[in-house]
Structure 1
Amino acid sequence: MPARLEHVNIAVPDPDATASILQTLFGWHIRWSGASMQGYSVHVGTDDDYVALYAPGHDMAPPAKRYRHWGGLNHIGVVVDDLDAAEARVKKAGFKPASHADYEPGKRFYFDGPDGVEYEVVSYS
């Protein structure tokens, strides 16, 4: 069996607030929250995979520009069954979908979500 991606870990100012938004947008749930690595984390996602939202207990440097740094986070890709419904939730939450595209094998759009993190929402239906 090949390896699978279980989670990504990103630093955010308020893990609880970001988790709440991601629950609303993607139907995810909180898997765990608590003290971690001199800070606080919330794991939000599905039973199989999640995004770890980490707030350190110290000052942070400003975010680096996406697509311009080796090892930088460019975006997080999320697969949905109904792209139109997902886009409606994104808009209702006050975010602006952009860069719509049809490509083999699916359709997608991007949006800048909470904390300056870009999300790609894709459907293969």
Structure 2
Amino acid sequence: MTVRLRHVAIASADPDNAAKFFETVLGWTIAGKVDSRNARGYYVTDGTINIALLNFKNRPAAGMEFPEGYTGLHHLGFQCDDIEGLVETFEGSGYAPRHDVNMAQGLGKNPSKDNAEYKMKGPEGVMIDVSERGWVGTDSYKKLD
């Protein structure tokens, strides 16, 4: 099974300013804008990695371990070719799905969503995204037909 890092999420107090940094200082591209019931922000990319710069609107969607107003690393996202197999590997290794966040965000294997993904527990308390589709702006993103 192939598993590659393709996504990093940063909780941001000012996603507009953060996106401007990536665009003007690093020369990255704004690949998308987020404005959902859960978060507001941007996806920026260098073509290989997608970084979500998110201002979360509610704690259940962010994960209750994050205090109101938290900024910093939120989660890492890995693209795979067999999401069921990867979730099974996580669970077999003692890293359970984050059902609380998955339910709050309406996540699950759903090919009609932007990212067919699950949030999982990871080492050191870092939340992990797993996705077959990947993230907009990356070279391995699988567009819907």
TM-score (norm 1): 0.45
* Bigger fraction of residues in strand: 1
TM-score (norm 2): 0.39
The structure, 1 or 2, with the larger RCO (C-alpha pairs under 8 Å, 6+ apart) is 2
